[in-house]
């Protein structure tokens, strides 16, 4: 097949546009759809229509002291007109490898991602975990409210051990381990903040 310069230029322009679009929205966990779901969830918890999500900036030195070198999400202070109610974290975690969980683990094979939210009350207790977006081919079982409740039924001062403290899920091992790791990391930040 021979590509003419016209088609090659169109393909290159399309490819550059897609890469630019991806890079411009590098914080995909902050999509309008995820923020609407987050707002709906916290409105049910606090039964208040006047809730505001105020972005929080964490000092990079603070994170390095905790040995957190990569943060795949954003923190928000949850406030009403009267007071601060808690802290929200919206982030992303790894699911299976693109192409399926059985594909070889090599550098050319990226991960599928899913978005989740953690809700902490003013006492820094994890009170809600919710998967906001799960488009991965496998592992959807981690979206179950019953499975996710395990995290909020324990003290957030604990480190969760997948397979011991947190029930293992057949068919969702990678996603379940990933969200457990992410929750442990965010709990460490919340405890030290």
What is the tens place of the pLDDT at every residue in 155-192?
666 688 898 888 988 888 888 999 999 999 999 999 88
Q: Are 88 and 118 in contact (CB under 8 A)?
A: yes
Q: For the chain, give me the number of helices (H) and strands (E)?
A: 5, 5
Closest CA to 131 of 22, 41, 26, 32: 41
Q: Which two tokens stand for residue 53?
A: 């999500």
Global pTM? Answer: 0.79
Domain coordinates in residue numbering, the chain: 27-192
* pLDDT tens digits, 14-55: 333 333 333 334 577 889 999 999 999 999 999 876 889 999
Give me the residue label for tokens 């399926």: 100
Inter-CA distances, 137 with 33, 61, 112, Å: 20, 37, 8
Q: What is the pLDDT of residue 107?
A: 40
DSSP character at residue 140: G
């Amino acid at each position: 097949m021979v590509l003419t310069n016209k088609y090659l230029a169109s393909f290159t322009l399309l490819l550059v546009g897609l890469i630019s679009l991806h890079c411009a929205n590098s914080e995909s966990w902050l999509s309008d759809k995820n923020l609407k779901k987050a707002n709906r969830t916290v409105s049910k918890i606090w039964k208040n229509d006047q809730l505001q999500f105020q972005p929080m900036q964490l000092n990079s030195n603070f994170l390095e002291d905790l040995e957190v070198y990569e943060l795949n999400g954003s923190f928000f202070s949850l406030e009403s007109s009267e007071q601060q109610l808690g802290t929200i974290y919206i982030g992303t975690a790894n699911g299976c490898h693109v192409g399926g969980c059985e594909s070889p683990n090599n550098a050319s094979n990226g991960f599928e991602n899913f978005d989740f939210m953690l809700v902490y009350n003013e006492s820094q207790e994890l009170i809600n975990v919710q998967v906001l977006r799960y488009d991965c081919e496998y592992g959807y079982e981690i979206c179950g409210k019953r499975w996710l409740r395990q995290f909020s039924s324990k003290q957030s001062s604990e480190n969760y051990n997948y397979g011991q403290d947190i029930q293992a899920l057949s068919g969702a091992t990678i996603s379940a381990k990933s969200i457990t790791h992410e929750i442990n990391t965010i709990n460490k930040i919340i405890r030290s903040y």
